[in-house]
Amino acid sequence: MAAILLLIAALPAFSQTVESLNKKYQRLDANHYQLRSGAILTVKFAENGQICEMTIEPKTVFDVRSVPDESRELPRDLMTVAEAEKLIDELVPNLQRGREMNKGFSFESGCNEVTLIEYENVVIQRVFHHCQKQFGEVVSITIQWKEAKCDAVIKRMLENKKRDR
């Protein structure tokens, strides 16, 4: 009985697996999936093969990244907040996230806003563009598992924050 309880307690820390993503979504290549909403999911893997980071973007934003920097413009069609939250709940439900630990920070500049919320098991970053709300306002969402060894900016920010305390 104790072993079962231990296993149940550990479940929320597990990230999505490639197998579970393959069952739910169309795999485009080794690191990309087409989500039901038309958004693109990009996954990064830790050395042990576990998914350590997911980035969700509207297909229009994903496609713009292939354009040279000097001619890049933010597309009009972004995700609505409701669509974005539904995808977050689908990919990393509350049980996997754990309890909210820290609202992190919110930074605004002109039309743009970046928010970071830390949970027990993950950190979720949302990037918004508020000037064209009629076309949606979510540019991207990045979900990073805290225990996975993914070399990303969010993980370094958390480590620096803990060191500064």
pLDDT at 55 over 90: yes
Contact 26, 14 (CB under 8 A): no
Alpha-helical regions (H) of the chain: 2-10, 18-24, 59-64, 81-91, 94-97, 153-164
pLDDT band at 70 (very low <50, low <70, confident <90, very high): low
CA angle 151, 109, 129 (to 5 degrees): 80
Handedness of CA 141, 144, 150, 153 (dihedral sign): positive
pLDDT for the residue 149: 73
Over the stretch 110-162, which tens digit does the pLDDT of each residue have?
A: 888 999 999 999 999 999 988 877 767 888 999 999 888 776 444 555 555 55
Over the stretch 11-35, which tens digit does the pLDDT of each residue have?
A: 444 567 888 888 999 999 989 999 9
pLDDT band at 7 (very low <50, low <70, confident <90, very high): very low
What is the rounded average pLDDT for all residues in the chain?
80
